[in-house]
Amino acid sequence: MPLVVQKYGGTSVADPDRIRRVARRVARTRRARNDVIVVVSAMGSSTDDLISLAHEVSSDPPAREMDMLLTAGERISMALLAMALHSEGVPALSLTGSQAGILTDASHGEAKITEIRGTRVREGLEKGNVVIVAGFQGVDPTSKDVTTLGRGGSDATAVALASAHGADVCEIYTDVMGVYTADPRVVPEARRLETVSFDEMLELAAGGAGVLMARSVEVGRRFNVPIHVRSSFVEDEGTWVKESTMEEAIIRGVAHDTSEAKATIWGVPDRPGVAAALFETLAGARINIDMIVQNVGQDGSTDISFTVPQSQARAARRAAAPLVKELGARDLAVDTDIAKVSLVGAGMKSSPGVAARVFRALADASINIEMISTSPIRISCVVRRGSVDGAVRALHAEFDPPVITEEVGANG
Amino acid sequence: MPLVVQKYGGTSVADPDRIRRVARRVARTRRARNDVIVVVSAMGSSTDDLISLAHEVSSDPPAREMDMLLTAGERISMALLAMALHSEGVPALSLTGSQAGILTDASHGEAKITEIRGTRVREGLEKGNVVIVAGFQGVDPTSKDVTTLGRGGSDATAVALASAHGADVCEIYTDVMGVYTADPRVVPEARRLETVSFDEMLELAAGGAGVLMARSVEVGRRFNVPIHVRSSFVEDEGTWVKESTMEEAIIRGVAHDTSEAKATIWGVPDRPGVAAALFETLAGARINIDMIVQNVGQDGSTDISFTVPQSQARAARRAAAPLVKELGARDLAVDTDIAKVSLVGAGMKSSPGVAARVFRALADASINIEMISTSPIRISCVVRRGSVDGAVRALHAEFDPPVITEEVGANG
């Protein structure tokens, strides 16, 4: 029997009505003779509500207890979904992350899945149940403490379960119709992509496309689990994320991200080991670095810029400040009024001139570029926050229709 | 170091303010050089809220999933209390029932504690933590499913933990000042008892004194764990429940209960095995029977009356109806408009005439008695629901002051 993993986010299970709707959808999948594993997030804003409660009792809640608290959220939604499925006449069994064998490291709040032990899920399926698994959570087998996986954790749970149990597809249900050529709120003429490769999806996610987090795409790519991103409100097909096909687009889409801040260290002495010292320090403080740009100046010193999540901007400054002094750098500035716009497409690596067209399109729209970073299939520019919508529209228009396909060889 | 177990009910942890107040109280106990285990219920009405959610998605939620759902409640309150204690500078560790080694049978919704495995609690205490344990929940070691203990489950958790870990006292914090000679809402002149024996407390609890459930008193009596029932809002001493002392009261107090219904089977043929068949059937349907009264009539038939929780009245009727026919009984009637009033005191067993005074006091207040049941230390009467407050006041006045003490011998 085919095995389908379905993941429903918080919006899809926000209230009893929606939970019943999800149950009907799961029931249809089950009746179509599939084994089904369902991964659920906490209901609507309930995780935020729990976080608020925590901050009402403590200004600095310990991470272990925060995880204990937050894992109550999925416990509620998964039990309710199991009940709703029983009401539909479909046997169902809910399992916590720990019960479903989701083992993680000990990093409370941002744990990584290290192993999946599938016994209880397998037994549940063999007895004819739909097995419902709490997303976003696992257990550290050493301390036996529960952990949470951090942002995008439920998607990661779903794709990891799909991989461990050899699922035929991992369906990610969300409140949008799939992956778009740009954010439709910014570019009304943006179109839904039918397929996108793992590599492209990784770049789109890194560029700010919030529909799917990079970590779940990485798991999907590593174990070749096709991911189907689709709406929980309509039956239409969404976007398939899978291995690249014969037909490869030059440009897939435009992503943007307003959640980052830019830090610049001015006048760093230009000698070996300086960058290493800086980024080792930041890694030690668990700061997530996205873009890094360094240019060597002519006076024997250099400027290093990097972007970090805005939520970590203060921590980054705290971590880097002593080092700035130590290295004899001139100054450290953190700028939160920035945004990043990225053009993504696996075909651009064989299409010269794409970068030039990007810079020209932005220049024509009078948008100044503050940082540039590229990969073989992506070009990212940091611009002023206020310019980002214009930048997205300019790039989408320049490469319109953004999905430009060409026939490539069997190595494509 | 002395070990104190403290249990805080839902009212005591109903909101962040109250959780912080509980944390300060626990912190004081800890700083007074005690090891402390804290048992918490779910916040305020949160369990009821979860039950409502369940009924919104299913008319008949499976018991296993109901337990999965409800156990989220204590998970939230215990994590928040741990955070609040950290804020007070007191290291704390929250553990679910399962993590705290509370093993139960498989009866979802009304599980019984079968064993306590104390390793994680002990390790937590040895590392200097206040250990916070979720009340009301455990785990069935066979299925590895979480279970809930039903009514009074958090008190039972606390007393069982106190027994398993050899605590010096189990403090039950509640929204009243202790155990009273009668419900102060009915009898304004009712007074708080300083001590009450396990046996008397069992009878008071069975009689409807809601402050402490019989099941936790039973555990306390079996393992001789002194229980201190006290207010979570003031520092005053409450009521100590412990082994009977040299000084024994004739009458401890008046309890009443409006949560029961009375079932009567009329005209049951008077032959051996009839009562056995009836109550075996009811036990098989998991109906909790309280009082049973049978009188043999003169026409070779008998009437059997018994009381059950109102919530089980329909189930009792369903279970008993076929048997009524089978036995050739005349009729089955269920009456929910009743109440029970009980006079309790260990001294009454050696004081003749107490029963007569009870019946006279009720008669003088024009209250009709519909059922009578006695134990060596209790007299209970079923009366019309509308008469119960009058009955409580009449008995409290008759035996006023209700705590009549006399010196008894060393065997007292």
Residues in chain B within 8 Å Cβ distance of A65: 79, 82-83, 86, 92, 94
Query: How many angstroms separate the CA of residue A95 from the nearest CA in chain B?
Result: 9
Residues in chain B within 8 Å Cβ distance of A57: 16, 19-20, 23, 80-81, 83-84, 87
Q: Assign B409 a pLDDT band (cuts: 50, 70, 90).
A: very low
Task: Say yes or no: B51 contacts chain A, CB-CB below 8 A.
Answer: no
Q: For B168-186, write each residue's pLDDT tens digit.
A: 999 999 888 999 999 989 9
Residues in chain A within 8 Å Cβ distance of B117: none
Query: In this predicted structure, what is the pLDDT of residue B394?
Result: 94
- Residue by residue, what is the 3-state secondary structure of A164-177? HCCCCEEEEEECCC
Residues in chain A within 8 Å Cβ distance of B75: 68-69, 71-72, 75
**Other beta carbons less than 10 A from residue B169's beta carbon:** 17
Residues in chain B within 8 Å Cβ distance of A87: 57-60
Does pLDDT of A412 surpass 60?
A: no
Nearest beta carbon to residue B58 from set A72, A87, A94:
A87
Does pLDDT of A273 surpass 80?
A: no
Nearest beta carbon to residue A69 from set B57, B79, B87:
B79
Q: Report helix, strand or coil for B247.
A: strand
Task: Say yes or no: B88 contacts chain A, CB-CB below 8 A.
Answer: no
Nearest beta carbon to residue A68 from set B53, B66, B94:
B94
Output the DSSP codes for B120-149.
Answer: HHHHHHHTTPEEEEETTEEE-TTT--EEE-
Query: How many angstroms separate the CA of residue B26 from the nearest CA in chain A?
Result: 14
Residues B268/B277, Cβ–Cβ less than 8 Å: no
Report the share of chain A in percent with pLDDT over 70.
95
Query: In this predicted structure, what is the pLDDT of residue B403?
Result: 52
A86, B65: Cβ pair inside 8 Å? yes
Query: In this predicted structure, what is the pLDDT of residue B297?
Result: 64
Residues in chain A within 8 Å Cβ distance of B84: 57-58
Give me the amino acid identity at A219: V
Section A358-368 average pLDDT: 89
Q: For B74-130, write each residue's pLDDT tens digit.
A: 999 999 999 999 999 999 999 999 999 999 999 999 999 999 999 999 999 999 999
Closest CA to A292 of A376, A372, A383: A372
What is the pLDDT of chain A when averaged over all its residues?
89
Nearest beta carbon to residue A80 from set B69, B81, B93:
B69
The chain A residue lying nearest B144, using CA atoms, is A99
Query: In this predicted structure, what is the pLDDT of residue A296?
Result: 65
Nearest beta carbon to residue A76 from set B16, B72, B83:
B72
Chain B neighbours among A 6-45 (CB < 8 Å)? 16, 19-20, 23
Query: How many angstroms separate the CA of residue B213 from the nearest CA in chain A?
Result: 27
CA B384, B388, B393, B397 dihedral sign is positive
Q: Using alpha carbons, list the distances in angstroms from residue A289 to A199, A203, A265, B89.
A: 19, 15, 14, 33
Instruction: Return the beta strands (E) in B297-411 as ranges.
Output: 301-309, 331-335, 338-344, 371-375, 378-384, 405-407
The chain A residue lying nearest B49, using CA atoms, is A76
Report the share of chain A in percent with pLDDT over 90.
59
Query: How many angstroms separate the CA of residue B40 from the nearest CA in chain A?
Result: 14
Query: In this predicted structure, what is the pLDDT of residue B277?
Result: 83
Section B329-336 average pLDDT: 90
User: What span, in angstroms and rounded, lies between the C-alpha atoms of B365 and B391?
Assistant: 7
Task: Say yes or no: A126 contacts chain B, CB-CB below 8 A.
Answer: no
Closest CA to A132 of B68, B46, B175, B335: B68
**Pairing of β A130-134 and β A35-40:** parallel
Residues B340/B260, Cβ–Cβ less than 8 Å: yes
Does pLDDT of A408 surpass 60?
A: no
Q: Which residues pair with B172 in a beta bridge?
A: B7, B229
Task: Say yes or no: B355 contacts chain A, CB-CB below 8 A.
Answer: no
What's the complex ipTM? 0.76
Residues B215/B312, Cβ–Cβ less than 8 Å: no
Q: Using alpha carbons, list the distances in angstroms from residue B37 to A112, B2, B164.
A: 32, 11, 12
Nearest beta carbon to residue B83 from set A58, A78, A86:
A58
Q: For B365-378, write each residue's pLDDT tens digit.
A: 999 888 888 887 88
Tokens of A340: 């990043």
Least confident stretch, A245-254, A281-290, A308-317, B12-21: A245-254
Query: How many angstroms separate the CA of residue A217 from the nearest CA in chain B?
Result: 31
Residues in chain B within 8 Å Cβ distance of A56: 16
Task: Say yes or no: A56 contacts chain B, CB-CB below 8 A.
Answer: yes
Residues in chain A within 8 Å Cβ distance of B93: 64
The chain A residue lying nearest B89, using CA atoms, is A58
Chain B neighbours among A 212-231 (CB < 8 Å)? none
Does pLDDT of B298 surpass 80?
A: no
Q: Using alpha carbons, list the distances in angstroms from residue A88 to A21, A33, B212.
A: 10, 16, 40
Task: Say yes or no: A270 contacts chain B, CB-CB below 8 A.
Answer: no
Q: For B127-173, write each residue's pLDDT tens digit.
A: 999 999 999 999 999 999 999 998 789 999 999 999 999 999 999 99
Task: Say yes or no: A86 contacts chain B, CB-CB below 8 A.
Answer: yes
Tokens of A156: 């990661």
User: What span, in angstroms and rounded, lies between the C-alpha atoms of A274 and B83?
Assistant: 40
B82, A68: Cβ pair inside 8 Å? yes
Query: How many angstroms separate the CA of residue B384 from the nearest CA in chain A?
Result: 40
Query: In this predicted structure, what is the pLDDT of residue B267?
Result: 86
B66, A87: Cβ pair inside 8 Å? no
Does pLDDT of A393 surpass 90?
A: yes
Query: How many angstroms separate the CA of residue B196 from the nearest CA in chain A?
Result: 37
Q: For B177-233, write each residue's pLDDT tens digit.
A: 999 999 989 999 899 999 999 988 988 888 888 788 888 998 899 899 999 999 988
A87, B59: Cβ pair inside 8 Å? yes
Tokens of A124: 């549940």
Nearest beta carbon to residue A20 from set B57, B80, B94:
B57
The chain B residue lying nearest A62, using CA atoms, is B83
A57, B83: Cβ pair inside 8 Å? yes
Best to test chain A binding among B68, B108, B146 (most A CBs inside 10 Å): B68
Q: For A181-232, write each residue's pLDDT tens digit.
A: 999 899 998 999 999 999 889 888 888 887 888 889 988 998 999 999 999 8
Task: Say yes or no: B66 contacts chain A, CB-CB below 8 A.
Answer: yes
Q: For B234-269, write each residue's pLDDT tens digit.
A: 889 999 999 876 556 678 899 999 999 999 888 888
Residues in chain A within 8 Å Cβ distance of B23: 57
Q: For A24-35, write each residue's pLDDT tens digit.
A: 999 999 999 999
A56, B16: Cβ pair inside 8 Å? yes
Task: Say yes or no: B408 contacts chain A, CB-CB below 8 A.
Answer: no
B345: Cα within 13 Å, side-chain hemisphere: 31
A72, B68: Cβ pair inside 8 Å? no
Query: In this predicted structure, what is the pLDDT of residue A207?
Result: 84
Q: Using alpha carbons, list the distances in angstroms from residue B28 to B88, B90, B180, B232, B236.
A: 10, 10, 27, 13, 15
For B94-118, b/e burial (b = at least 16 CB within 10 A) is bbbbbbbbbbbeebbebbebeebeb
Residues A263/A310, Cβ–Cβ less than 8 Å: no
The chain B residue lying nearest A19, using CA atoms, is B57
Section A376-392 average pLDDT: 91
Section A272-279 average pLDDT: 80
Q: For A107-163, write each residue's pLDDT tens digit.
A: 999 999 999 999 999 999 999 999 999 999 999 999 999 999 987 899 999 999 999
User: What span, in angstroms and rounded, lies between the C-alpha atoms of B175 and B4?
Assistant: 20
B50, A120: Cβ pair inside 8 Å? no
Give me the amino acid identity at A110: E
Query: In this predicted structure, what is the pLDDT of residue A85?
Result: 98
User: What span, in angstroms and rounded, lies between the C-alpha atoms of B201 and B210?
Assistant: 11
Does pLDDT of A13 surpass 90?
A: yes
User: What span, in angstroms and rounded, lies between the C-alpha atoms of A99 and A96?
Assistant: 5
Task: Say yes or no: B305 contacts chain A, CB-CB below 8 A.
Answer: no
Query: How many angstroms separate the CA of residue B215 from the nearest CA in chain A?
Result: 28
